[in-house]
Copies of this chain bind each other. A is one copy, B any other.
Amino acid sequence: MEVSVLFSGGKDSSLAAVILSALPYFSKKSREGSTFFEVELVTCSFGVLSNWKQAEKVAKKLGFPFRVLKLKKEILNEAARQVIKDGFPNNGIKYIHQKALEAVAKKSEIIADGIRRDDRVPVLSLAEIRRLEDKFDVHYIQPLMGYSRKTIDLLVKQFFIVKEYKSTSFFKGAEYEFELREIIRKGYGIRKIKEIFPKNHSHSIVKEVKSRG
């Protein structure tokens, strides 16, 4: 049974993938033995930056198959308009995440992401989650939803060596924020970026994977 995990190369989506890949799954053919969930990593790109390559590098280290899912640039433009209107990035990023989930759901039976219990963005409401599952007849798993930041940190240390970056360093991961910032910079100027995006937000990239034993 295959599960498609939305993947940025950061510690959360990497941990989500590892947790799912540890789940045994009994194949229909042979009730005796069992295989495990087969994880496929999916990184979305609007073609504005090539930061998906960073995610691809991490995917190789994790040892999971990887693919890039091209999303329509109109989605990014709409998210940028939303962010400019709001004066803060949350709703725009959530909009991108919803569209990414929908795009993956079209071709997969089980989809997943690295959203945590303590995340504020991009968190879907329970109603939105159910709508997605019903509309696309898909299983949507958020493997980290029942874990606190403290517990995630404990587990991440088990598996990965991680580097944390400030959001101002571009190209260091495949979070939606990077292409969103780039298109806002192009369309509205660098000043808007400074106005809108929080300065002290940091993100992570997995640099090394410890032996998975």
Contacts and interface: CB of A to CB of B under 8 A. Distances in A.
A124 to B, nearest CB: 11
Given A23-B155, A24-B212, A34-B211, A144 B146 contact: yes
Interface stretch (A53-61, A135-143, A172-180): A135-143
Interface in A114-128: 115, 117-118, 126
Interface string A136-169: 0001111111111011001100110000000000
A35 B42 CA distance: 29
Given A133-B150, A151-B139, A26 B145 contact: no
Nearest to A158: B26
B213 A24 contact: yes
Nearest to A110: B151
Interface of A: 19, 22-26, 31-35, 110, 115, 117-118, 126, 129-130, 133, 139-148, 150-151, 154-155, 158-159, 210-213
Given A19-B23, A24-B159, 8 more contacts: A22-B23, A34-B212, A34-B213, A118-B126, A133-B150, A139-B154, A140-B151, A142-B145
- In order of increasing CB-CB distance, the 5 nearest A-B pairs are A34-B213, A145-B146, A142-B146, A22-B22, A139-B151
